[in-house]
A = this chain, B = another copy of it.
Amino acid sequence: MNKTGLSERGARCEAPPIEWLMRLVLQRPELISLAAGFTDNETLPALEVIEIVRERLKNARQARSALQYGLTAGLPELREAAIERLAQADTAATGTNIKTGSAAETRYSPDQAIITNGSQQFLYLVTEALCDAGDIVLVEDPTYFVFLGIVQSHGLRCRGIRMTPEGLDLEQLETVLESLKKSGDLPRLKFLYTISYFQNPTGISTPFGTKTAALKLLRRYERAAGHPIYLVEDAAYRELRFAGKDAASALAVPELNKRVIYTGTFSKPFSTGVRAGYGLLPEPLLTVVNRLKGNHDFGTASLIQQILAGAIASGRYEKHLAVLHRRYKTKAKIMGDALREHFPASVEWQEPRGGLYVWARLPKPLVSGPDSPLFKSALKQDVLYIPGRLCYAEDPTRPIPDTEMRISFGSASDMEIRRGIARLGKVLHDLIDKPAKKRRS
């Protein structure tokens, strides 16, 4: 018992990096932030939302639904629309006709879906439903850093699974599963968390075949675990694809898809202020997560759900998505061009095909952490990036890599992207050239 009277979870809660980054941004309005995962400010659907609200609230039945409490699991129209879109995408990606239906017949069922306050809340609910302090989750190396806040406050242990340029590293997944089996820790392993489309932070997508293989691997270790080991597939960036082909979700894997927990979002593709996500769960998790959601807030705000349902039903969602794709493609190209022009050739990065991020790997001995000369010099030049180390879980089997940076073309303007990258490039050149000069002199 501590003197503050806080719970174990309350006492454990550490300051999230976002707290400190937000403070920096607020204190320095002149700062060019290439850090935030905010979306583009030029294309926010203001007129669309005005129109949808008018349409929906002029209809008495819809107005009543929009302004009153609804079901904990969410507006049926929105759940149906989410599943329909998902089934269409997976149909296109697999080439087989995926049908939506009742929970018993298919994993593509509105009955299995829950609407949440962004996919973030869904990830929280799933973690809460599955994990006690000391349990283990597998995360990608690197991974979504806000998820690491959930993990930290729950007192969970992590193992990182490397991201290769072709997605999740299956070999390392097997090695880690094997080592957990040997150490007797497998009964504490609850799930593998993967951001499978244009991953945050690396921008890498994991192909369908790799997801299938990962599900098979996890299944092989279930006997030793004594309970299901789930694959939590976070598809937050799936709809932000502006180049290349879509891959099917893990829900399209026959049989094994009963171990898949899938989450998508309407926030990034439409508006982060009209914020809602959704998730699909197999039983008994579905029931538990619905009950937890009932305790959390008994349902996401009805107005938000009506607006999103209206956006999809009226075709405005799809139109807005096309606008976003053009916009992000342009911004990604601006960033790519600026990176080629200003960054030292020894910095490695990949041209993004979707999502909001570029992941840059620095040459040795450069480091990128919050205390590094690079981060401090960048700040002095009024540029903020996300130090790569913030995206790595604490994993006792490896040190935390400190040589990468996440730079986002999401919310920065074209001009800010050009200026930000030019300044970052100058700072990098200075740091790379200086010691070289010193060595020479």
Interface residues of A (CB under 8 A from B): 1-11, 13-16, 18-19, 22, 36, 38-39, 41, 44-47, 49-50, 53-54, 57-58, 63-72, 116-118, 120-121, 124, 128-132, 135, 146, 149-150, 153, 187, 190, 225-230, 271-276, 284-285, 288, 291-292, 294-298, 300-304, 306-307, 411
How far apart are A239's CB and chain B's nearest CB, in angstroms? Answer: 17
**Chain B hits for A225, CB < 8 A:** 5
Is A288 a contact of B68 with CB atoms below 8 Å? no
Cβ-neighbour of A292 out of B47, B71, B153, B294 (below 8 A): B153
Is B7 a contact of A303 with CB atoms below 8 Å? no
How far apart are A230's CB and chain B's nearest CB, in angstroms? Answer: 8
Is B298 a contact of A69 with CB atoms below 8 Å? no
How far apart are A238's CB and chain B's nearest CB, in angstroms? Answer: 19
Chain B: which residue is nearest A229 at the CB level? B5
How far apart are A56's CB and chain B's nearest CB, in angstroms? Answer: 9
30 A-B pairs, CB-CB below 8 angstroms?
Answer: A1-B227, A2-B227, A5-B130, A5-B227, A5-B228, A7-B135, A10-B130, A10-B285, A10-B292, A11-B288, A16-B294, A19-B291, A44-B63, A44-B67, A46-B58, A47-B57, A50-B53, A54-B54, A67-B272, A67-B273, A68-B271, A68-B272, A117-B300, A120-B296, A272-B302, A273-B303, A273-B306, A276-B301, A303-B307, A304-B304
**Chain B hits for A9, CB < 8 A:** 128-129, 132, 292
Is B41 a contact of A68 with CB atoms below 8 Å? yes
How far apart are A311's CB and chain B's nearest CB, in angstroms? Answer: 12
Is A124 a contact of B274 with CB atoms below 8 Å? no
19 further contact pairs, Cβ within 8 A, besides A124-B296, A304-B304: A3-B227, A5-B190, A6-B285, A9-B128, A10-B288, A10-B292, A19-B72, A36-B69, A38-B68, A46-B57, A46-B58, A47-B57, A49-B303, A50-B54, A53-B54, A66-B273, A68-B272, A273-B301, A303-B304
Is B54 a contact of A68 with CB atoms below 8 Å? no
Residue of A8, A187, A288 most packed against chain B (CB within 10 A): A288
Cβ-neighbour of A65 out of B6, B47, B273, B307 (below 8 A): B273
**Chain B hits for A294, CB < 8 A:** 16, 18-19, 146, 149
Cβ-neighbour of A129 out of B7, B49, B272 (below 8 A): B7
Cβ-neighbour of A7 out of B67, B121, B132 (below 8 A): B132
Cβ-neighbour of A295 out of B7, B124, B132, B288 (below 8 A): B124
Is A146 a contact of B295 with CB atoms below 8 Å? yes
